[in-house]
Amino acid sequence: MPDITHEAAYRAHTNIALIKYWGKRNPELFLPVTSSLSLTLDAFYTETRIQFSPDYTRDTLYLNHKQMEADEMAHISHFVDLFRQEAGVQAACQINSINHVPTAAGLASSASAFAALGSACNTALGLNMDAQQLSTFVRQGSGSASRSVHGGFVLWHRGEGDVSSSSFTEQIDDANWDIGMLVVAVNTEVKPFSSRAGMQHTVETSPFYQQWPAEVEKDLALMLEAIEAQDFTTMGEISEHNAMKMHATMLAAKPSFTYFQGESILAMHLVQKLRREGLECYYTMDAGPNVKVLCRQSDMAHIKAAFAIHFKPDQLIEAKPGPGPEAIQWKEAN
Ligand code: ADP
Ligand code: DP6
Ligand code: CO
């Protein structure tokens, strides 16, 4: 048995952006071009345990019981280094992680993954960082993970210049007022290009990207007002429009690409039809083919029933606002 000196396990939930993060101004520090805003979801999460031991010769990570390859492991080690440096610890680590969310399918596994891993590092190494500081560390694993450090509606501030500590997240509202999200799982296989590669290619080649930061600034200001007023209609309209503007930047990239698949379009058309029929709901999409339908929790059953005509039961997952990271007891049976 290795001599474990530091250990902790955490559960963290995914989040879906209503105002998207799309583009880094500093890729090394994961500093975003714009601020963004998300909803943390209860239905999808990652559970991660980290153990540090002087007996380990190198870092390892088992994701869903499968050992991570060396190229991806380099990013994990670099991420854990941030915490090791802060704590003055040099020991290597073993990480075990289980995704209760499809991995790399555009359902934000990188968000729950790095929020869980960062929270576990924080506790295991006795760092006692508060959520704001932790978000600036977690951001450097995956940008969207910085928002999973809180529950409810979360604002990620873009921050200033190359100052890492200025780009943090905060909860702006607990979202406990009849907010729901129906996730339409069109395809949960690993996507052909990661969020990181997709956004970088777009920033570098899409002429439409020039317009993106100004659109986000306008949308975010209106979204903050709408949340404050609990104005569901305005929230929905802005988030749908913001998502489609992001996807338009990808269509204009060179070479052009899209995360849409046939059934993604079908799901979006269904949302529009439901709206025409008086059932209010709005769609958003991320770096993957799956569609998320923002709705009132009290309308969820009706909306799901309408989708059930076109999609199988296991493709329709009901989500509510979720919490921030929680410490857990790690079960070896995991
Ligand atoms: P997603 O839409 O799922 O966030 P991304 O392309 O942003 O997709 O990120 C997927 C990558 O995140 C995976 O290829 C893997 O490198 C990393 N990842 C996902 N889950 C975990 C996990 N539990 N622990 C460590 N890394 C993870
Ligand atoms: C479309 O946070 O997964 O989901 O920072 O490179 O790890 P990296 O990318 P990631 O990108 C998320 C992009 C998005 C929009 C969003 O979540 O805001
Ligand atoms: Co991601």
- Closest residue by CA, ligand 2 atom 3: 195
Which residues form ligand 1's pocket by a CB distance below 6 Å?
A: 46, 63, 72, 97, 99, 103-111, 113, 142, 194-195, 287-288
Domain covering 7-175: architecture: 2-Layer Sandwich (3.30)
- The whole-number pLDDT of residue 4 equals 85
How far apart CA 172 and CA 274 sit, in angstroms, is 30
- The whole-number pLDDT of residue 35 equals 99
Tokens representing residue 322 in the block: 């979720």
CA of 110 to the centre of ligand 1 (A): 4
- The whole-number pLDDT of residue 332 equals 81
Neighbouring-strand partners of residue 36: 156
Task: Please name which of 231, 291, 222, 36 lies closest in space to residue 142, comparing C-alpha atoms.
Answer: 36
pTM of the predicted structure, to 2 decimals: 0.98
pLDDT digits (tens), the chain, 334 positions: 788 889 999 999 999 999 999 999 999 999 999 999 999 999 999 999 999 999 999 999 999 999 999 999 999 999 999 999 999 999 999 999 999 999 999 999 999 999 999 999 999 999 999 999 999 999 999 999 999 999 999 999 999 999 999 999 999 999 999 999 999 999 999 999 999 999 999 999 999 999 999 999 999 999 999 999 999 999 999 999 999 999 999 999 999 999 999 999 999 999 999 999 999 999 999 999 999 999 999 999 999 999 999 999 999 999 999 999 999 999 886 6
Instruction: State the burial class of residue 85 (Cβ atoms within 10 Å of its Cβ: 0-12, 13-18, 19+).
Output: exposed
- Closest residue by CA, ligand 1 atom 18: 110
Which residues form ligand 2's pocket by a CB distance below 6 Å?
A: 17, 20-22, 30, 36, 110, 142-144, 195-196, 286-287
How far apart CA 296 and CA 8 sit, in angstroms, is 36
- The whole-number pLDDT of residue 182 equals 98
CATH 3.30.70.890 correct for 179-319: yes
- The whole-number pLDDT of residue 1 equals 76
- The whole-number pLDDT of residue 2 equals 82
Pick from 65, 109, 328 the residue to mutate for probing ligand 1's pocket: most ligand atoms within 8 Å of its CB.
109
Going from N- to C-terminal start, the domains of the chain cover: 7-175, 179-319
Task: Please name which of 245, 207, 187 lies closest in space to residue 18, comparing C-alpha atoms.
Answer: 245
Q: Which amino acid is present at 24?
A: K
Q: Is 246 left (phi over 0), alpha (psi -120 to 50) or beta?
A: alpha
DSSP letter string, 127-190: ----HHHHHHHHTTT-GGGGGGGSSSEEEE---STT-GGGS-EEEEE--TTTEEEEEE-S--SP
Judged by its nearest atom, the ligand closest to the C-alpha of residue 15 is 2
Residues 6 or more apart in contact with residue 299 via CB below 8 angstroms: 180, 279, 280, 281
Asked casually if ipTM beats, i.e. exceeds, 0.95, the reply is yes
- The whole-number pLDDT of residue 38 equals 99
Do the Cβ atoms of 157 and 168 come closer than 8 Å? Answer: yes
- Closest residue by CA, ligand 2 atom 7: 142
How far apart CA 201 and CA 27 sit, in angstroms, is 12
Q: Which residues surround ligand 3, an ion (CB under 5 A)?
A: 110, 195
Task: Please name which of 324, 327, 279 lies closest in space to residue 304, comparing C-alpha atoms.
Answer: 279
Fill in the DSSP letter of residue 211: G
CA of 266 to the centre of ligand 1 (A): 26
- The whole-number pLDDT of residue 5 equals 86
Helix, strand or coil, per DSSP, at residue 99: strand
How far apart CA 9 and CA 94 sit, in angstroms, is 12
